[in-house]
Amino acid sequence: MWYPPGLSLEYGRDHAKFIDSEGKHSLAEKTIADVCEALIGASLLSGGDDNRYDMAIKAVTIFVNSQNHTATSWKDYISAYSIPLYQNRAPDGFEKNLARQIFEKVGYDFKYPRLLRSAFTHPSYPLAWAKVPCYQRLEFLGDALLDMVCVEHLFHRFPNRDPQWLTEHKVRISFSKAKSHIIPY
Protein backbone atom coordinates (compact mmCIF):
# COMPACT_ATOMS: atom_id res chain seq x y z
CA MET A 1 0.00 0.00 0.00
CA TRP A 2 1.49 3.31 -1.05
CA TYR A 3 0.66 6.69 -2.45
CA PRO A 4 3.16 9.53 -2.84
CA PRO A 5 2.53 12.16 -0.16
CA GLY A 6 1.61 15.63 -1.36
CA LEU A 7 0.53 14.55 -4.84
CA SER A 8 -2.94 15.12 -6.19
CA LEU A 9 -4.35 13.41 -9.24
CA GLU A 10 -4.92 15.98 -11.99
CA TYR A 11 -6.23 13.58 -14.63
CA GLY A 12 -6.81 9.87 -15.09
CA ARG A 13 -8.84 7.37 -13.10
CA ASP A 14 -10.51 8.46 -9.90
CA HIS A 15 -8.21 7.05 -7.27
CA ALA A 16 -10.25 8.04 -4.23
CA LYS A 17 -11.97 4.65 -4.02
CA PHE A 18 -8.53 2.94 -3.87
CA ILE A 19 -7.15 5.01 -0.99
CA ASP A 20 -7.59 3.69 2.54
CA SER A 21 -8.13 5.71 5.73
CA GLU A 22 -4.36 6.20 6.15
CA GLY A 23 -4.06 7.77 2.70
CA LYS A 24 -2.40 4.73 1.12
CA HIS A 25 -3.22 3.37 -2.29
CA SER A 26 -3.36 -0.36 -2.99
CA LEU A 27 -1.10 -1.29 -5.87
CA ALA A 28 -1.38 -4.50 -7.83
CA GLU A 29 1.54 -6.93 -7.54
CA LYS A 30 2.23 -6.55 -11.27
CA THR A 31 2.48 -2.77 -10.87
CA ILE A 32 4.89 -3.15 -7.97
CA ALA A 33 6.99 -5.63 -9.97
CA ASP A 34 7.03 -3.27 -12.97
CA VAL A 35 8.16 -0.32 -10.83
CA CYS A 36 10.90 -2.45 -9.25
CA GLU A 37 12.10 -3.53 -12.70
CA ALA A 38 12.09 0.11 -13.84
CA LEU A 39 14.21 1.09 -10.83
CA ILE A 40 16.65 -1.74 -11.61
CA GLY A 41 16.86 -0.48 -15.20
CA ALA A 42 17.45 3.07 -13.96
CA SER A 43 20.22 1.77 -11.70
CA LEU A 44 21.88 0.03 -14.64
CA LEU A 45 21.78 3.22 -16.72
CA SER A 46 22.95 5.52 -13.91
CA GLY A 47 25.85 3.34 -12.73
CA GLY A 48 28.20 4.60 -15.44
CA ASP A 49 30.54 2.50 -17.56
CA ASP A 50 32.67 1.29 -14.67
CA ASN A 51 30.06 0.06 -12.20
CA ARG A 52 26.70 -0.11 -13.94
CA TYR A 53 26.26 -3.79 -13.07
CA ASP A 54 27.14 -3.07 -9.44
CA MET A 55 24.40 -0.44 -9.26
CA ALA A 56 21.85 -2.77 -10.86
CA ILE A 57 22.84 -5.65 -8.56
CA LYS A 58 22.40 -3.42 -5.51
CA ALA A 59 18.92 -2.54 -6.75
CA VAL A 60 18.06 -6.21 -7.37
CA THR A 61 19.25 -7.10 -3.87
CA ILE A 62 17.12 -4.37 -2.30
CA PHE A 63 13.98 -5.44 -4.18
CA VAL A 64 14.50 -9.16 -3.71
CA ASN A 65 14.86 -8.48 0.03
CA SER A 66 15.90 -12.02 0.91
CA GLN A 67 18.54 -13.30 3.30
CA ASN A 68 19.52 -15.74 0.54
CA HIS A 69 20.36 -12.93 -1.90
CA THR A 70 23.04 -10.68 -0.48
CA ALA A 71 25.05 -9.71 -3.57
CA THR A 72 25.88 -6.02 -3.77
CA SER A 73 28.37 -6.12 -6.65
CA TRP A 74 29.33 -8.15 -9.69
CA LYS A 75 32.32 -9.46 -7.70
CA ASP A 76 29.88 -11.00 -5.21
CA TYR A 77 28.37 -13.07 -8.03
CA ILE A 78 31.80 -14.12 -9.24
CA SER A 79 32.95 -15.16 -5.77
CA ALA A 80 29.72 -17.12 -5.17
CA TYR A 81 30.24 -19.16 -8.34
CA SER A 82 32.15 -22.40 -8.12
CA ILE A 83 33.52 -23.92 -11.29
CA PRO A 84 32.08 -27.39 -11.98
CA LEU A 85 34.51 -30.28 -11.64
CA TYR A 86 34.25 -31.30 -15.31
CA GLN A 87 35.28 -27.79 -16.40
CA ASN A 88 38.32 -27.66 -14.12
CA ARG A 89 39.81 -31.02 -15.16
CA ALA A 90 42.79 -30.95 -17.50
CA PRO A 91 41.71 -31.04 -21.16
CA ASP A 92 42.54 -34.13 -23.21
CA GLY A 93 44.10 -34.08 -26.69
CA PHE A 94 40.74 -33.79 -28.45
CA GLU A 95 39.74 -30.79 -26.34
CA LYS A 96 43.11 -29.08 -26.83
CA ASN A 97 42.87 -29.63 -30.60
CA LEU A 98 39.30 -28.29 -30.66
CA ALA A 99 40.40 -25.20 -28.70
CA ARG A 100 43.28 -24.64 -31.15
CA GLN A 101 40.91 -24.90 -34.14
CA ILE A 102 38.45 -22.45 -32.58
CA PHE A 103 41.31 -20.06 -31.80
CA GLU A 104 42.45 -20.19 -35.43
CA LYS A 105 38.90 -19.41 -36.63
CA VAL A 106 37.79 -16.72 -34.17
CA GLY A 107 40.98 -15.61 -32.41
CA TYR A 108 39.75 -16.39 -28.91
CA ASP A 109 41.80 -18.61 -26.60
CA PHE A 110 39.45 -20.50 -24.27
CA LYS A 111 40.69 -20.80 -20.70
CA TYR A 112 38.60 -23.97 -20.24
CA PRO A 113 38.74 -26.10 -23.43
CA ARG A 114 36.38 -28.62 -21.84
CA LEU A 115 33.61 -26.04 -22.25
CA LEU A 116 34.10 -26.30 -26.00
CA ARG A 117 33.49 -30.03 -25.84
CA SER A 118 30.38 -29.30 -23.82
CA ALA A 119 29.25 -26.75 -26.44
CA PHE A 120 29.52 -29.45 -29.13
CA THR A 121 27.99 -32.34 -27.15
CA HIS A 122 24.47 -33.22 -28.30
CA PRO A 123 21.85 -34.13 -25.65
CA SER A 124 21.30 -37.49 -27.37
CA TYR A 125 24.85 -38.53 -26.50
CA PRO A 126 24.53 -40.96 -23.56
CA LEU A 127 25.25 -39.21 -20.27
CA ALA A 128 27.12 -42.26 -19.00
CA TRP A 129 29.71 -41.85 -21.79
CA ALA A 130 29.87 -38.07 -21.84
CA LYS A 131 32.84 -36.42 -20.18
CA VAL A 132 30.94 -33.12 -20.09
CA PRO A 133 27.27 -32.01 -20.02
CA CYS A 134 25.48 -31.41 -23.32
CA TYR A 135 25.37 -27.95 -24.85
CA GLN A 136 21.94 -27.01 -23.44
CA ARG A 137 23.21 -25.43 -20.19
CA LEU A 138 25.65 -23.26 -22.13
CA GLU A 139 22.92 -22.48 -24.67
CA PHE A 140 20.65 -21.25 -21.85
CA LEU A 141 23.35 -18.86 -20.65
CA GLY A 142 24.36 -17.71 -24.14
CA ASP A 143 20.74 -17.09 -25.12
CA ALA A 144 20.20 -14.85 -22.09
CA LEU A 145 23.37 -12.88 -22.82
CA LEU A 146 22.48 -12.49 -26.50
CA ASP A 147 19.03 -11.23 -25.46
CA MET A 148 20.68 -8.69 -23.16
CA VAL A 149 22.86 -7.40 -26.00
CA CYS A 150 19.79 -7.13 -28.27
CA VAL A 151 17.77 -5.33 -25.59
CA GLU A 152 20.57 -2.85 -24.87
CA HIS A 153 21.04 -2.24 -28.59
CA LEU A 154 17.35 -1.48 -29.13
CA PHE A 155 17.11 0.63 -25.98
CA HIS A 156 20.04 2.87 -26.96
CA ARG A 157 19.50 2.92 -30.72
CA PHE A 158 15.82 3.90 -30.45
CA PRO A 159 15.58 6.27 -27.45
CA ASN A 160 12.17 7.66 -28.45
CA ARG A 161 10.37 4.35 -28.98
CA ASP A 162 7.76 3.18 -26.51
CA PRO A 163 8.05 -0.08 -24.53
CA GLN A 164 5.57 -1.93 -26.74
CA TRP A 165 7.60 -1.16 -29.87
CA LEU A 166 10.84 -2.19 -28.11
CA THR A 167 9.25 -5.44 -26.91
CA GLU A 168 7.87 -6.29 -30.35
CA HIS A 169 11.29 -5.74 -31.92
CA LYS A 170 13.03 -7.72 -29.18
CA VAL A 171 10.65 -10.60 -29.92
CA ARG A 172 11.34 -10.21 -33.63
CA ILE A 173 15.09 -10.33 -33.02
CA SER A 174 14.69 -13.37 -30.77
CA PHE A 175 12.54 -15.09 -33.39
CA SER A 176 15.04 -14.26 -36.14
CA LYS A 177 17.87 -15.42 -33.93
CA ALA A 178 16.11 -18.72 -33.30
CA LYS A 179 15.28 -19.21 -37.00
CA SER A 180 18.55 -18.21 -38.58
CA HIS A 181 21.03 -17.70 -35.74
CA ILE A 182 21.67 -14.23 -37.17
CA ILE A 183 20.77 -10.97 -35.47
CA PRO A 184 19.02 -8.72 -38.04
CA TYR A 185 20.31 -5.37 -36.70
Q: What is the mean pLDDT of residues 58-78?
A: 88
Amino acid at the residue 87:
Q
The model scores a pTM over 0.75: no
Instruction: For 128-154, write each residue's pLDDT tens digit.
Output: 677 888 899 999 988 888 888 889 999
Instruction: For 108-129, write each residue's pLDDT tens digit.
Output: 999 999 999 899 889 888 766 7
Contact 110, 100 (CB under 8 A): no
Other beta carbons within 10 angstroms of residue 165's beta carbon come to 12
Other beta carbons within 10 angstroms of residue 113's beta carbon come to 22
Contact 34, 40 (CB under 8 A): no
Instruction: For 69-122, write each residue's pLDDT tens digit.
Output: 888 888 998 898 899 988 989 999 999 999 999 999 999 999 999 999 899 889
